[in-house]
Structure 1
Amino acid sequence: MLRKIVTGAAVAAIVMGAAAHAETLAIVNAHILTAEPVGEVENGTIVVKDGVISAAGQGVAVPSGARVVDAKGQIVTAGLVAVNTGLGLTEVSSVSGTRDDRQHSEGISAAFDVQYGLNPNTTLIPVARLGGVTSAIVVPQYDDTDKARQLPFAGQAAAISLKYGGRLLLKPKIGLVLEFGEDGASRAGGSRAAEFIQLRALFDDARYYTSHKAAYERGEGRNLGLSRLDLEALAPVLDGSMPLIVIAHRASDISEVLRLGRDSGLKLILSGAEEAWMVASEIAAAKVPVLLNPTDNIPSSFDMLGATLLNAKRLSDAGVEIAIEGNDTGPRVRDLRYNAGVAVSRGLPYAKGVEAITLAPARIFGLDKQVGSIAPGKRGDIVVWTGDPLEPLSVATQVFVEGAEQPLTSRAEELRDRYLAPAR
């Protein structure tokens, strides 16, 4: 148990003990709760060798010399995969100097790449890890301090691992972020229609650039609406190798985005999508996944008049793959499991609720061969819980990333314990 403060030599010992994935780990008497092929196993064993799961399920033998962790019948899941986060990019939301998740350079839009601003020493990563989060999708945000700006794209997202002392970056360039709706329209002259027209024109420019690079370098050809860096960044989006993560809320906007995706051959991921349930059949037919917060049921704008707690259930029932997010991009990232619990309480099948915070986000972003479930060949990202992980009173007692046990402490807890101590 690592609920107490882990400082100095203790943390170093944890990290050194797991160096080079030398330790073989066996978690026994585990109530395994994960997706198929292992599925739910009431009394199983998980073996991790060199940071990778080698076996999981019933009747699994414990290798000689392995470190044995007795789960004592507690629920054990794969590490949670958080979407729509700013982990590693933000510290204090109200202090602009601590935010590397946004920018306002006129020459950089689609080319903005968050992988270069990641900070492994942020105080927010340990907070997320306390909630069982072991990997996350880090997305750029728009800087709207100056509404006169007209940068269409927020930039490129990345996947990170929350392993203590390890390299954050898990996979770069996993999606390009674009916003529609009221805020998106404000960057394109104030109209949704203008934004869709502008976007189609920019896509045409990017295709023209790709097929006329030599002429462009000579200063020949037509004028293009984006910088060279942005035009190059759009190439993988237009050939379908990088998904376009589209923030859209209103049902009509979602339908128009799906039409744009069909016309342009785009691989889409919807984000926000509070009214997605109203066009669930269209989304399912297009095989487009959705990132959402199932607790969004009170409209904060006219874009969200149809927001409902039943959004997650209705989308899932229609065959749409969903991933559930936390309640902000920083300190409340770990709320994703509470939100999954809310969705389950409103009819989402329990197994889908767990999948929406583990395997589904991994699958959506092409990480499912590495993380998202307990299965042979995947990273040893594993969490032991005191109870149902979707219940707020349950806590993570042990968190492993690549088979290495992680310190379960944070600056917030250290400060709490310091000031709870009796004055001397």
Structure 2
Amino acid sequence: MKAAILIAIIVIVAAAAASAQTIAITNGTVYPVSGAPIPNGTVLIRDGVIVAVGPGVSVPAGATRIDATGKIVTPGLINSVTQLGVVEVSQVRDTNDVRATGTNRISAAFKVWEGLNSASALFAPTRNEGITTAIVSPEGGLVSGQAAVIDLIAGHATDMVRRAPVAMVAQIESPNDAGTNARGELVGKLRALLDDVKFYAQNRATFDRAGTRSLSAPKADLEALVPVVEGKLPLVLLANRLDEIDVALALARDYGLKIMIAGGAEAWMTADRLAAAHVPVLTGAMSNIPSSYSTLNQRQENAALLTKAGVRVVIVATGGSDVTQFNARNIKYEAGNAVAYGMSHDDALRAITLTPAELFGISDRVGSLQPGRDANVVVWSGDPFEFSTQVEHVLIRGREVKEPSRQDLLIERYRPHP
């Protein structure tokens, strides 16, 4: 008898646990991104994975329900250029892990995610604004290092990292950062490095025996760049001026590189060439005020003009300060501005969800609301691109993660009380 009671209790507990892992977001307007919007739709989640999306999805008994009547349901947003978790306070050196010393301004072996601070106070306000996934990128030098994709979950840094590396990061706009005096010298230095990487890849054994000429980077950096020259790992090149972008296209052509342009202030001026070369651009739409001579032709229609020309566009935060850190949450406003300056709403939403997921090799897990994808889902009170819209629910890997941020706690602490 006792055994039977014990078995019954175990069955009841197991059933309760199973039902607790099933979540149904019902009656909302669902934007799967991979397809047309679904009025009065349901997103069914089980064990952290989306199992059904549609207007007539049957909800199992005991499932946790989130009523999204009158609300918008989208995939979690993806910010593709951030320093979240590796810069906490810009002016405090001990909280900065985004820039490696490197050798000769080359830090290709630098894995920025290995310094990730999982307790960063910047994660909560970012995910509370609907950003569930971020690409964490290094900066500095000629070749800055390797970038990674993280989910903004609470826990260990190793659990946050979804995929690494997803890109190599370099720049061709600042001779000073590259340890050179002129752009032509910078480009020559980068070409010499790429030549050395190709040479190294063909002569590893001889190099290890010290039987080759000296090369422009240590072995670890050369090894890290081999997938780049083989066209297997994307190279994200920071470039804004028209001529810098043309140089980037020439490098991609000459060395068989798979590149992306980050910044791209004047990319609209060479949109036809970017489209023909199938080179994506990571850019924003918040600012039309030049910050340097390299961005004199910056305009807020950039993303729309590029998209119209057939260029794959990823919208990133570019307007204001701390856009890769505290204000990384502002990509939805960048997307909204892109719509105001000619981009379609669907294209803008795709540019902060599915397109970056495809470009960084994670579209089989995130970026859209489809069966089999991880449940990174956001429920909005209205259009995500409107300033008045509130985030009501944020799920990452099927778990509700919206919680008070440090800013929320400070507001409550100093709120006037009678």
- The alignment's TM-score, normalised by the length of structure 2, stands at 0.91
* Cα distance change on mapping 1:21 and 1:277 into 2, 3 Å: farther
> Which residue of 317, 326, 332 maps to 2:327?
332
1:48 aligns with 2:40: no
2:371 to 371, 376, 382: 376
d(CA) in 1 for partners of 2:28, 2:347: 21
Q: Which of the numbers 142, 163, 176 marks the counterpart of 1:171?
A: 163
CA contact (8 A) 2:34 2:354 kept: no
State the structure with bigger RCO (CA 8 A, min sep 6), 1 or 2: 1
Q: Equivalents in 1 of 2:254, 2:38: separation in Å?
A: 45
Offset at residue 186 of structure 1 (A): 5.0
Does residue 252 (structure 1) correspond to residue 250 (structure 2)? The answer is: no
**Alpha-carbon distance in 1 for matches of 2:362, 2:179:** 34
- Would the aligned equivalents of 2:142 and 2:172 in 1 still touch at CA under 8 Å? no
Return the offset for 1:369: 0.9
Aligned residues: 396
Q: Of 158, 161, 172, which aligns to 1:180?
A: 172
Letter of the structure 1 residue corresponding to residue 150 of structure 2: I
What's 1:134 paired with?
Answer: 132
How far off is 1:297 after superposition? 1.0
Between 286-295 and 271-280, the greater mean CA deviation after superposition: 286-295
Stretch of structure 1 that moved more, 57-66 or 83-92: 57-66
Question: 1-side partners of 2:273 and 2:63: how far apart?
Answer: 50
Q: Is the 8 A contact 2:19 2:62 kept in 1?
A: no
Task: Describe the SS at the equivalent of 1:54.
Answer: strand
Query: Greater Rg, structure 1 or structure 2?
Result: 2
Alignment of 1:46-85 (within 5 A): 46-85=43-82
Structure 1 residue ranges (4+ consecutive) displaced by more than 3 angstroms after TM superposition: 18-22
Instruction: Measure the CA separation in 1 of the matches of 2:190 and 2:83.
Output: 26
In structure 2, distance between residues paired with 1:350 and 1:87 = 27
Give the C-alpha shift of residue 334 in structure 1.
Answer: 0.8
User: Unpaired segments of 5 or more residues in structure 1?
Assistant: 1-17, 143-150
User: What code does the residue aligned with 2:38 have?
Assistant: V
Q: In the alignment, what sits opposite 1:216?
A: 207
Q: Distance between the aligned counterparts of 2:50 and 2:187, measured in 1? A: 46
The whole-number CA distance in structure 1 between the counterparts of 2:18 and 2:414 is: 37
- Asked whether 1:100 is paired with 2:97, we answer yes
Residue number among 131, 137, 142 corresponding to 1:152 in the alignment: 142
Task: Tell me which amino acid in the other structure corresponds to 1:162.
Answer: L
2:393 paired residue number: 398
- Does the Cα contact within 8 Å between 1:175 and 1:242 map onto a contact in 2? yes
Q: Compute the displacement of 1:205 (Å).
A: 0.8
Asked if structure 2 preserves the Cα contact closer than 8 Å seen for 1:28 and 1:70, the reply is yes
SS of 1:55's equivalent in the other structure is strand
TM superposition shift of 1:294:
1.3
Q: Do the aligned residues in 2 keep the contact of 1:129 with 1:408 (CA within 8 Å)?
A: no
2:307 maps to which residue?
316
Pick the aligned partner of 1:119 from 117, 130, 154: 117
1:21 and 1:122, CA in 2 relative to 1: closer, same or farther beyond 3 A?
A: farther
Tell me if structure 1 keeps the 8 A contact 2:19–2:64. Answer: no
RMSD over aligned CA atoms reads: 1.7
Going from structure 1 to structure 2, the CA distance change for 1:237 and 1:416 (only over 3 Å counts) comes to same
Q: For residue 9 of structure 2, what is the aligned residue in structure 1?
A: none
Secondary structure at the counterpart of residue 414 of structure 2 = helix
Cα distance between partner residues in 2 of 1:222 and 1:106: 17
For 2:271, give the aligned amino acid: A
Whether 2:226 is the aligned partner of 1:235: answer yes
2:195 equivalent in structure 1: 204
1:342 maps to a residue whose letter is: N
Alpha-carbon separation, structure 2, partners of 1:22 and 1:332: 34
**Structure 1 partner of 2:346:** 351
What is the match of residue 273 of structure 1?
Answer: 264
In structure 1, how many angstroms separate the alpha carbons of the residues matched to 2:308 and 2:55? Answer: 31
Alignment partners' CA distance in 2, 1:354 and 1:304 = 25
The alpha-carbon deviation at position 36 of structure 1 amounts to: 2.6
Q: Which residue of 2 aligns with 1:30?
A: 28
* Aligned partners of 2:383 and 2:389 also within 8 Å: yes
Q: Distance in 2 between matches of 1:294 and 1:279?
A: 17
After superposition, the Cα gap between the structure-2 partners of 1:57 and 1:97, relative to the gap in structure 1 and judged at 3 Å, is same
SS of equivalent to 1:376: coil
The CA deviation at 1:65 is: 2.3
Deviation of 1:210 (Å): 1.5
1:366 counterpart residue number: 361
Structure 1 residues 201, 21: CA separation in 2 closer, same or farther (over 3 Å shift)? Answer: farther
Question: What's 2:8 paired with?
Answer: none
Deviation at 1:339, TM superposition (A): 0.8
Give 2:388's aligned amino acid. L
Change (3 A) 1:20 1:268: farther
Counterpart residue number, 2:3 = none
Query: What stretches of structure 2 of length at least 5 have no aligned partner?
Result: 1-15
Match of 1:12 in 2: none
Give the letter for the 2:378 counterpart: V
Task: Name the structure 2 match of 1:145.
Answer: none
1:34: Cα distance to partner?
Answer: 2.8
- 1:21-63 per-residue CA deviation (whole Å, 9 max, x = no partner) reads 96011111111123133x2011000101111101101111112
Structure 2 residue identity aligned to 1:213 = R
- For 2:161, give the aligned amino acid: L
